[in-house]
Amino acid sequence: MILSQIWKSGANIYLDTDDRVAIKNQNLIPAEVMQAAEQNFQSIDDWFKSWKGAGAEQVTIRKALHYLCNWEQNEKLNKWMCEDTESALLLIDWTEVLANNGWKDIYEDYRQFENDESNKLAKELYINAVTYAKKGAGA
């Protein structure tokens, strides 16, 4: 929840090249959110580091979820979802599978609710993303 509030403020929190949590535009973050982030720093750091070895497919689905939740703005992803309704519906189907597996809180890490069905949908979504990106690149 803290991360989503930071992203929604217009600031960006991320893991930098030195594996340290960094923030751009920290001045945009409300004081109470910044205080909560400081108090929960270890959990935030652990979450970012848990994504360290993630492949492109996992990063794509995470970015798509953040887009769907309106946490992070991403023009390319927005354009893709608006132009490719099949992929937008696939993303919704993926969240439904997770919900059926017990994922009831969007602020809870969804990865513990994944199964073969959700992984299949995530892979299909990733393939659609790559295909869409190649079309945009003139391929």
Could you report the average pLDDT of every consecutive run of 10 residues in the chain (139 residues)?
92 91 95 96 94 91 92 89 95 98 94 97 96 75
Residue 21: half-sphere exposure toward Cβ, Cα within 13 Å: 18
Amino acid at position 129, single letter: A
Q: Are 46 and 3 in contact (CB under 8 A)?
A: no
**Mutual orientation of helices 85-100 and 75-83 as an angle, nearest 10°?**
100
Task: Provide the pLDDT for residue 138.
Answer: 47
Q: The tokens 């439904």 sit on which residue?
A: 96
| Tokens (6 digits) for 126 | 């990733």
pLDDT at 105: 92
Q: Residue 41 has what pLDDT?
A: 96
How far apart CA 57 and CA 130 sit, in angstroms, is 10
Contact yes or no for 85/112 (Cβ under 8 A)? no
Model-wide pTM > 0.85? no
With tokens 């190649």, the residue in question is 134
**12: three-class secondary structure by DSSP:** strand
Q: Quote the pLDDT of residue 31.
A: 96
Query: What is the model's pLDDT at position 137?
Result: 57
